[in-house]
Amino acid sequence: MKKFWALFFFFWPTVTLVVCWIAPDRNWWFFSEAMGQLGKEIDGLFYLILSIVTITFVGTQYSLGWVIWKSATRDPDTKAVFSHGSHSLELIWTIVPAFVLLFIALYQMDVWAKFRMKDHFPDEAKSAAVVEVTARQFEWRMRYPAPGKQLQAMPQPDDLYAVNEMHVPSGRPIRFNLRSGDVQHSFFAPQIRVKQDAVPGLMIPMWFEIPIPGKYDLLCAELCGWGHYKMRATIYAEPEGGYAEYLEKLQQDQDFDGVVPEVEEDE
Ligand SMILES: [Cu+2]
């Protein structure tokens, strides 16, 4: 039975190593490649932490298995050895994890700053936002400036609105502002690896860059009420000129009052 437990503790780290062997071919079961440079850097942090955790797990489980195996296979007549702890061991397994945590904290600071701190945004994303995103129960509201104008912090009479469709230019970093109209929500664009809480009373500046035009998911990642599940929208990364075209069309739709002028007939 003792040998069984030793084998049990050898089994799981072995499974882990096999998984690590086949996982890169399957993109670690991520459902898509990270879109954009920032997404790749965020994935990089994820892989770093995953590696540290894997090494720790495999190391501790094999050691545990080895200790049990040793005791299972030794001569039952051998005298047991008792010890009263070890100061050096205590120091080692306190200092090593402390340094690992400190390393992670310092290592991720550049990516974090680029992602979250306005002063470190790419230059193109420091200027005016292309859209203001407001999360509310249970939809995403977009506010765009009128064509040719810049988005103001306060809503303007000629602003354009859309629901659950976020159109942005592709191929360059774009800035947007995130707000909440009621409770706490979370802006989550999984393919771009961008996630940020929308907090009532705050306007949070954000940016991302989508190199390839196309459709991307936008979800709410904060349980915000009964309709949380349907807070799903689409990000349209527009090709060159597509964003301006979209704004023109939105303006036409918004200005249209539903009345088609009658054609006057000559008597
Ligand atoms: Cu929500």
Query: Which among 211, 213, 157, 202 has a CA at the least distance from the CA of 177?
Result: 202
In the predicted structure, residue 228 carries a pLDDT above the cut 90: yes
The reported pLDDT for the residue numbered 80 is: 80
How many angstroms separate the alpha carbon of residue 136 from the centre of ligand 1? 7
The reported pLDDT for the residue numbered 131 is: 92
pLDDT band at 267 (very low <50, low <70, confident <90, very high): low
The reported pLDDT for the residue numbered 266 is: 65
In the predicted structure, residue 101 carries a pLDDT above the cut 70: yes
How many angstroms separate the alpha carbon of residue 198 from the centre of ligand 1? 9
How many angstroms separate the alpha carbon of residue 254 from the centre of ligand 1? 26
Please report, as a single letter, which amino acid is at residue 119. D
The reported pLDDT for the residue numbered 107 is: 93
How many angstroms separate the alpha carbon of residue 227 from the centre of ligand 1? 8
The reported pLDDT for the residue numbered 257 is: 80
In the predicted structure, residue 36 carries a pLDDT above the cut 70: yes
How many angstroms separate the alpha carbon of residue 253 from the centre of ligand 1? 27
How many angstroms separate the alpha carbon of residue 232 from the centre of ligand 1? 9
pLDDT band at 156 (very low <50, low <70, confident <90, very high): confident
How many angstroms separate the alpha carbon of residue 68 from the centre of ligand 1? 49
How many angstroms separate the alpha carbon of residue 222 from the centre of ligand 1? 6
| Tens digits of residue pLDDT in 175-209 | 999 999 999 999 999 998 899 999 999 999 999 99
The reported pLDDT for the residue numbered 265 is: 67
Please provide the average confidence, as pLDDT, over all residues in the chain.
89
The reported pLDDT for the residue numbered 158 is: 87
| Tens digits of residue pLDDT in 107-140 | 999 999 988 888 888 888 787 788 999 999 999 9
**Who has greater pLDDT, 57 or 84?**
57
Instruction: Name the 3-class secondary structure at 45.
Output: helix
The reported pLDDT for the residue numbered 58 is: 95
Chain centre distance of CA 29:
15
How many angstroms separate the alpha carbon of residue 27 from the centre of ligand 1? 29
How many angstroms separate the alpha carbon of residue 137 from the centre of ligand 1? 6
In the predicted structure, residue 77 carries a pLDDT above the cut 90: no
Q: Give 246-253's long-range contacts (Cβ < 8 A, gap of 24+).
A: 246/167, 247/144, 247/145, 247/146, 247/147, 247/160, 248/147, 250/144, 250/160, 250/162, 251/146, 251/147, 251/160
Q: Averaged over 140-164, what is the pLDDT?
A: 89
In the predicted structure, residue 23 carries a pLDDT above the cut 80: yes
Give the single-character DSSP code of 258. Answer: S
How many angstroms separate the alpha carbon of residue 33 from the centre of ligand 1? 25
| Tens digits of residue pLDDT in 47-66 | 899 999 999 999 999 999 99
Helix (H) or strand (E) holding 77, with range, is none
pLDDT band at 264 (very low <50, low <70, confident <90, very high): low
How many angstroms separate the alpha carbon of residue 197 from the centre of ligand 1? 9
How many angstroms separate the alpha carbon of residue 52 from the centre of ligand 1? 33
